[in-house]
Structure formats: structure tokens, C-alpha cells
Chain A
Amino acid sequence: MQVNQKEFEPVIAAFCCNWCSYAGADLSGTNRLSYPSNVKIIRVPCSCRVNPMFILRAFQRGADGVIICGCHPGDCHYTSGNYFTRRRMTLLFSMLDYLGIERDRTRVEWVSAAEGAKFAATMNDFTETVRKLGPNRRLEDLRCRKQ
């Protein structure tokens, strides 16, 4: 379990709704479509279950990128959950951007249960994007913790 010390390996937390994106992630597994092991998935019933606090917590505990995946708008299992997600995350991300946090560390992506390929592609792309950004220091260190 030695991780190459030279290359930065980002920690990516992915919140996936049970009905679409988690199933999409399962499908990319079934189809053996690989994406980096940096991505760890947390299952939630609906993307609207994702409290902004979870995202902030992830960053503060060492995540370098957080992605929220849900059903496409109009396809929510609970009919309207992802519409609330969309507003909440837009405002949260905008706030993080306002605080000077790199906006590429957060993302919302709609992935259906049929989009295993999209799930893998999204995770590949997101991991690479975050890897280029380097470790998340700004949000962890918003109050001069590591002077």
C-alpha cells in the first residue's frame, strides 16, 4: 500500500444518489470501465440529501475534490430532489469561489443508471483536474490553521 510519494494523489469524495448515479457507477464497474482509485463513493438516497456541510467537512478533513452526482433533471426518483440540489450546490460553489477556493475542486454531474461510461469518464476527468490543482490547502487553512 505504498503510494508514490512523488506524485500527488488527490482524495476525491463522490456523493452518488442511489437510484441513478450509484447505479451508473455500478454499471461502469460491470463494464470494467476504469477510473482512478482516488475516487471514493458515498451512497446517499438522493443528491438532495447532500448537505453543504458534508462537502465542507470533506474538504476540511483532507479531500482535494468533491463531486456530487445525481439523476438528470426531470429523472429524479423522488421527482424533485435534484432540482433542490442544483440550487444549493450552485450557491455553495459560488460562495466557495467567492472565498477564493479553486472552483475546479467542486462539481455537480448528472449521471443516469445507464451512463456507466459517462460516470467513468467524469471521474477520470475530475481526478485529473484536481490532481493538476494540487493539494487542497486553501479551505483547510481558511483560518490560518497551518501557519
Chain B
Amino acid sequence: MRKIGVFVCHCGTNIAATVDVKAVAEALGHEPGVVVSCEYQYMCSESGQELIKDSIKKHGLTGVVICSCSPRMHENTFRKAAASAGLNPYLVEIANIREQCSWIHKDIASATEKAIILGKAAVAKIHLNTPLTAGESPVAKKALVIGGGIAGIQTALDIAEAGFEVDIVEKKPTIGGKMAQLDKTFPTLDCAACILTPKMVECAQNEKIHIYSYSEVTEVKGFVGSFNVTIKKKARFVDETKCTGCGLCTEKCPMKKVPNEFNMGFDNRSAVYIPFAQAVPKVAVIDPANCMMLKTGKCGVCSKVCTVGAIDYKQQDTYINETYGAIVVATGYDPIDLGKYDEFAYSQSPDVITSLELERLMNAAGPDGGTLLRPSDKKHPHTIVFVQCVGSRCDDSRGKPYCSKICCMYTAKHAMLIREKYPDTDVYVFYIDVRTPGKNFDEFYRRAVEQYNVHYIKGMVGKVEPKADGKLSVQASDLISREQLHIDADLVVLAAAIEPDKTARPLATMLTTQMDTNDFFTEAHPKLRPVESATAGIFLSGACQGPKDIPETVAQASAAASKAIGLLCKNSITCNPCVAHSDELMCNGCSSCEKVCPYGAITYINKEFTMPDRTVALRRVASVNPAVCQGCGACTVACPSGAMDLNGFSNSQIMAEVDAICK
């Protein structure tokens, strides 16, 4: 028989003014199993808690019901008090008679009646409570960072700095990401390579960091503290351990007509290549789609010239299995494909380019050595039109509904740099709004307008048409002067919207993390947990969570790192004991529960059972991993046999509450 104590709180007059607390304590005292029922002014106070603790000890209570404020307020307080008196903290139930009773009802009689019913429901429930113990699961002291752009690099460096091992998986042959392609960075105009490449080198040199370049995550199993990850190292046909990065193979390779991705296709590379001079790891890679040796078996020049014998045409994809305590997603972004923007003639004219392409054209390591020339005729452009929001804040299916956030600032940067270097150039920027929140951002934009005389025009470009003389006829409207404008431009630069990397969606499925409709990873809480995903142990770094500029990305990368470090510091993690569990004897093994579990917490095992007729049967039964289960209860309803139940909110407990309320 249970020995239940009921403690009714006055909460000063918050409860006592509308609820007859004495009557409540009196009525609940008659409930079955209740051995003590009392009221007190402030149960949450030191002396109130002492009252509860003393009663637990004095009466040997096996259950405590507290009629007070919302459990969201003081459930933990009372659980701790019970625990300190030797009672399992999960043998405490709260009847919410303040927020859901005394504060909303004015009539004392009906409020008191309701408080008694709520108390009775809590008593009925606590008869069925069982002591619960939070389990623990170990934490592997190693982190995985998926993506090797500035976000991934910063996260990895911070985690390594804290003394933990960290692996970076990067799908391209080198880390560096989009930032490596940028020319200068706003608002300080320092060169991207100058600030990024030292960090890349640091990654390569740090003993705690291992870089899996040209690799992809193919499978993720396990859960917070011990994720088992399979990484596919794609065959690069060059032995990483031997290659010195001398570049001789790339010089001698006869196949030199491959568009160079790093320079956005403005120049060519060889079939065996090193993406750029500061690549990390500085190891060549053979592009199998263009290598004559791999395609036809005829060539082998690179193998002949390589002095260290690093070329290996027979190299295969290899798979690596590793266990990580935490995973940080840093998959970054890509500009959207502008193939469908015919009104801007992007596909029709080589002189209509994206901003990222402009970065390469202006870069000293770019195709023209940093001299800004039109792609079509390699002449200096005298009139340049920038178009903002191409695909951003867009309501048709070609674009994205959100603001890409970085375009206003990089366009101001481009305009300023061009005006600085080529003062004879006219620069127009067509915008919907100029959005410059951020430290020194608005000052930067104003400099572009005021000091550099960039023509900012509020309005949208309607059409860009290539003309016979090589110019681009730009038709636009100026929304402020309400005029139609016609500009003959030499170069048109489109600020393409950015979208999450295409690999993010399948990765989210593997990680059982959530994404929004735009395929950005969803944070656990938009304000209070911005770098954690809803899945424990998975953190978000950089633009995979939403459009971000470099300072913001780095800030978020470090925040994600600190969250990961916080996890890795622990030897084990305490699990929420209010999790689902399956009664194996009743489980049908039908997989209904597995299908509704958002966390992948349920797996199936084949287990031998001695049946009632003493035969042994091999049955497929569900098994819940308590470290992964978050206790939502979706599985309990999906389960047709009722084998699945939830600790703390069991079928019989809720049914008992229902009975008490409806009687």
C-alpha cells in the first residue's frame, strides 16, 4: 500500500485567496493511500521544503503530491527536496492549482472544487508512479566536423584547442570552402586568403585534427556520446602519404582543358590538379571524368613524372569507421543556379556574372591576375550594373523566400573596390532595400555611396539584353524618381540568393536532425539554443543553419565548438528517465513505433523467448535506446499491442488521471 503525503501550498494569497486550501487538504486526506495531508504558506520556501522532507521521513512516504504552482515552475525544486529526504524524485507529482486554478477562477466554491479534483488526479496518478533512475551513457572524446569551410575550420580549431581530437570531413579535395574563393572581406577589406589560409595550415598542423578531404559521410548510427560514423574516402588516385604537392604532374598532364571550378570556370585546369596554391592538404587529385589514363588506359604521364611514385590509378574508395561523442554540421551554402533567370540573360551572355564569379575575376590569383576584365572580350568594363536580390526574398519557385543576408554588404564591397581601383568606372547598384545591420556595416555602405559615389538606385532591373555591339542593355525602374532607366552596361553582376549545400538534406536524414522547408538545419530553439540541433549531440555551425556572413559564421562556429566541448568534457551523460520502454512479451515486432520515432531511438532485435507452452521462440522485439529517446510518446500510440509505454506518463497513469477528472 502506498503511503502518500499531500502538501497544499497557499502561495501567500495567490492560491489561498480563491481556493479554500484547508478544504482541499481535508478532502485529499480522505483519498486512498493518503496518510498525511497538510497546507502551508509557501511550500517552495526553505521551511516548506523542510516540512515535506520531515513528513517523508516521519511517515515513510512512498509518494508526494504537491498542490501548488505549475510544475514548470517548481517541479525540480520539489523533486530535489524529495531526493534529499531519500525518496525517489519521480515519486513526486504536482497538482497545478495556481496558474490553472486560483489565478483564473474567481468563485471560491468552484475553484476549490476544481483544486480538489486536480489533487485527486495527482493522487490517482502517484499510486502508479514508479521510482525512476536516470541512466548514464559514455561519451567518446572525439568530435566530427562535417564540412571544411571557415565554419568547420573554426569549430575544429576550437575543439582541438580544448584538447579534444577532432576530424574534419570535407567533400572537396581541399578544405577552405567558399571563403577561399573570396577576394576581399567586408567591412575591413582584408584579403580573404590572408586570414583564411593560416587557419587552414593550422588545421593541417594541429596534432588533434585529422582532415578527411575528398571524403563524405555515408552512414551515421548511434547517439549522443557515441555516434558511429562511416566516412567514404573517395579515390583520388594519388597516394596522400607520398604526394609532396610539387605540382609537376599538373604541369605535365596533357589534358588541360578542364574548366577550373575554383575559378568558376573562367580558366582551365589539368585532369590531375591541385585546386589552388594554398590547398590543404596540398595533394594532387585526379579527376576520373577527364583523365585519359582512367578513361582509356592510355597516357600515364603523371605517373611517369612523379618522383615519389604517388600516382595510383588503381586506388579505390575506402571506408572508415569512427566513433564520435559529438558531431558538428558545417555544410555551408551555395549560390542558387541562375539558369532560369533569362530576364537577366545570365545563360545568354558571358558578361552577366554572379557575385562569386566576380570575386574570382577580381582576385589576384584569379584568371586575369586581378585585373578586372570582361569575360567576353577581356576588355576593361566602364559601366557595371549590380542587381540585388536575384532569387532572394522571392515569391516564385525559381528563388527563395528568405533574405540571403550577405549580398548587400558584398555588393557594397565590390562597388567600392571597383571604384577605388578603376575610378573611371560607373557603378550602379539596383536594390529593394539595403540591409546593413552589423558592426561597422552601415558606415561601410555609406562610404560606398558618399566617398566612392556608387549609384545606388532603389528599384528592380526588369531586363538585361545583350546588344550587337557587345554592350548589355539594362532596363530598370527607379522607384524613388519613378523613372524608367536604360543603361548600357559592360558587365552585369547578379547577387544570387544562397541556398544550403545539396548534400545537407541526405545528411539531415542520416543524423535524424530537422530541417526547415528551405533545407536549412533547424536549431533546437531559435533564440536560446541557436547552435544546437534538436537531436542531442549534433551542433550547427555556419551557413547550414541560415545565411550568414563571415564574422557571424565564425562566432557561431566557436559557439558550436564550445557546446561540443561542453559535451566532450563529460565522461558520461545523464539521460532523461522519462523515456519509452517496450514490454518484450507483448511486442509484435511490427515496426510501427520505429516509423514514428523522430530520433531513431528504436531498433529491433531477434530474441529467444520461452513461451507459456515452454517452447522456445525467436521473436523480433523493439528495443528503445534510453540515451536517444526524448520521451515524446509518439510510439506508445502507434503501438497496436500496447507494449510500448512511457515512463512518467504511462497509459495507466494517464488513464487514472482521466478517471479522476471525469468522475
Q: Interface of A with B (CB < 8 Å)?
A: 1-3, 11, 13, 18, 22-23, 25-30, 32-35, 37, 40-46, 48-54, 57-58, 61-63, 77-81, 84, 88, 120
Q: At the interface, yes or no: B459 with Cβ under 8 Å from chain A?
A: no
Which of A1, A30, A78 is within 8 Å of B103, CB to CB?
Answer: A30
Within 8 A of A (CB), among B617-660: 630-634, 636-638, 646, 648-649, 651, 654-655, 657-659
Interface residues on B, range: 35 or more
Determine the distance from Cα of A24 to Cα of B73 in the docked complex, in whole angstroms.
Answer: 13
Q: How far is the CB of A114 from chain B (nearest CB, A)?
A: 12
Binds A, one of B93-101, B166-174, B422-430: B93-101
Q: At the interface, yes or no: B118 with Cβ under 8 Å from chain A?
A: yes
Q: How far is the CB of A61 from chain B (nearest CB, A)?
A: 4
Within 8 A of A (CB), among B43-77: 70-73
B662 touches A11 (CB 8 A): yes
Question: Can you list 11 A-B pairs with a CB-CB distance of less than 8 A?
Answer: A27-B99, A34-B104, A34-B105, A43-B96, A45-B578, A45-B648, A48-B632, A51-B636, A51-B654, A53-B651, A78-B598
Task: Give me the 9 closest cross-chain CB pairs, A-B, nearest first.
Answer: A29-B99, A49-B633, A78-B632, A61-B662, A29-B103, A26-B99, A48-B634, A46-B632, A37-B114
Determine the distance from Cα of A57 to Cα of B656 in the docked complex, in whole angstroms.
Answer: 10
A57 touches B655 (CB 8 A): yes
Residues of A within 8 A of B116 (CB): 1
B98 touches A29 (CB 8 A): yes
Q: At the interface, yes or no: B284 with Cβ under 8 Å from chain A?
A: no
User: Main secondary structure on chain B at its contact with chain A?
Assistant: helix
Within 8 A of A (CB), among B499-523: 514, 522
Q: At the interface, yes or no: B121 with Cβ under 8 Å from chain A?
A: yes
Residues of A within 8 A of B648 (CB): 45
Q: How far is the CB of A49 from chain B (nearest CB, A)?
A: 3
A40 touches B654 (CB 8 A): no
Q: How far is the CB of B439 from chain A (nearest CB, A)?
A: 30
Residues of A within 8 A of B70 (CB): 22, 26, 29
Which of B96, B634, B663 is within 8 Å of A46, CB to CB?
Answer: B634
Closest to B106 in A: A34
Residues of A within 8 A of B106 (CB): 34
Query: Beyond A49-B649, A81-B634, is A29–B104 a contact (Cβ under 8 Å)?
Result: yes
Determine the distance from Cα of A54 to Cα of B636 in the docked complex, in whole angstroms.
Answer: 12
17 further contact pairs, Cβ within 8 A, besides A26-B70, A57-B662: A11-B661, A22-B72, A25-B100, A26-B99, A34-B105, A40-B117, A41-B100, A42-B657, A42-B658, A46-B633, A48-B596, A48-B634, A49-B632, A61-B663, A80-B634, A81-B598, A81-B632
